[in-house]
Structure 1
Amino acid sequence: MDLHLVTYFVAVVDHGGITKAAQSLYISQPSLSQAIRTLEKRLGVTLFDRTGRRLELTEAGRKLDVAARRILADVDRAKAKVDAVRELRAGRVDVVTYAAFSIDPVVNVVRLFRERFPRLSVRVISADGPGGVLSALRSGDAEIGIMDSAAEHATFSAIPMAEQDLVVAVPPRLAEELPDPAPHSAVRALPLIIDHSDQHTANLFAGIVDDDAKNVVIDCQLPSAVWSLVRSGTGATVLPRTVADRQLAGTRRVALDPPLSRPWGLVLRSGLPSPAALAFISAARAHSGISPDPSDTQDW
Structure 2
Amino acid sequence: MTLRHFQIFLYVHDEGGMTRAAEKLHISQPSVSQAIREMEEHYGTKLFERLGKKLFLTVAGEELLQYARHIAGLVNQSESAMQDFADGSPLRIGATLSVGESIFIPLLDRFRKICRQRVYSYIHNTATLEKALLNDELDLALVEGNIHSPYLKEHPFMADELVFLAAPHNPIPRTISDLSQMPFITREVGSGTRELFTRIMTEQGIKPKIIGTYNNSESIKQAVMAGFGIAVLSERVANHELAAGKLSKFDIPGISFTRTFRIVCHVNKYQTPALENFIDLCGNFDDYHRL
Shorter-chain TM-score bucket reads 0.5 to 0.7
Question: CA shift at 1:144, angstroms?
Answer: 0.5
Q: How does 1:109-148 map to 2 (within 5 A)?
A: 109-117=107-115, 119-127=116-124, 129-148=125-144
Give the 3-state SS of the residue equivalent to 2:274 in structure 1.
Answer: helix
User: Does the Cα contact within 8 Å between 1:174 and 1:190 map onto a contact in 2?
Assistant: no
* Change over 3 Å in CA distance of 1:138–1:176 after alignment to 2: closer
Q: How does 1:206-245 map to 2 (within 5 A)?
A: 206-208=199-201, 213-245=207-239
* Change over 3 Å in CA distance of 1:176–1:219 after alignment to 2: closer
* Change over 3 Å in CA distance of 1:132–1:172 after alignment to 2: same
Unaligned runs of 5+ in 1: 1-65, 291-300
User: Does the Cα contact within 8 Å between 1:137 and 1:268 map onto a contact in 2?
Assistant: yes
AA aligned opposite 2:138: A
Equivalence for 2:262:
265
User: Does the Cα contact within 8 Å between 2:201 and 2:208 map onto a contact in 1?
Assistant: no
Give the 3-state SS of the residue equivalent to 1:104 in structure 2.
Answer: helix
How many positions carry a matched residue from both structures? 221
Corresponding residue to 2:185 among 171, 193, 197: 193
Question: CA shift at 1:81, angstroms?
Answer: 5.9
Q: How does 1:46-57 map to 2 (within 5 A)?
A: none
User: Does the Cα contact within 8 Å between 2:130 and 2:147 map onto a contact in 1?
Assistant: no
Question: CA shift at 1:171, angstroms?
Answer: 0.4
Q: How does 1:275-294 map to 2 (within 5 A)?
A: 275-288=273-286
* Change over 3 Å in CA distance of 1:175–1:275 after alignment to 2: farther
Equivalence for 1:296:
none
Distance 1:175 1:283 in 2: 42
Equivalence for 1:169:
165
User: Does the Cα contact within 8 Å between 2:101 and 2:237 map onto a contact in 1?
Assistant: yes
Question: CA shift at 1:214, angstroms?
Answer: 4.5
Distance 1:135 1:265 in 2: 16
* Percentage of matched positions with identical amino acids: 15
Distance 1:136 1:165 in 2: 26
User: Does the Cα contact within 8 Å between 1:231 and 1:251 map onto a contact in 2?
Assistant: yes
Distance 1:164 1:199 in 2: 15
AA aligned opposite 1:217: I
Q: Cα RMSD between the aligned structures?
A: 4.0
Unaligned runs of 5+ in 2: 1-61
Distance 1:196 1:283 in 2: 30
Equivalence for 1:35:
none
User: Does the Cα contact within 8 Å between 1:161 and 1:288 map onto a contact in 2?
Assistant: no
User: Does the Cα contact within 8 Å between 1:191 and 1:215 map onto a contact in 2?
Assistant: yes
Question: CA shift at 1:252, angstroms?
Answer: 0.7
Give the 3-state SS of the residue equivalent to 1:103 in structure 2.
Answer: helix
* Change over 3 Å in CA distance of 1:160–1:141 after alignment to 2: same
Q: How does 1:31-110 map to 2 (within 5 A)?
A: 92-110=90-108
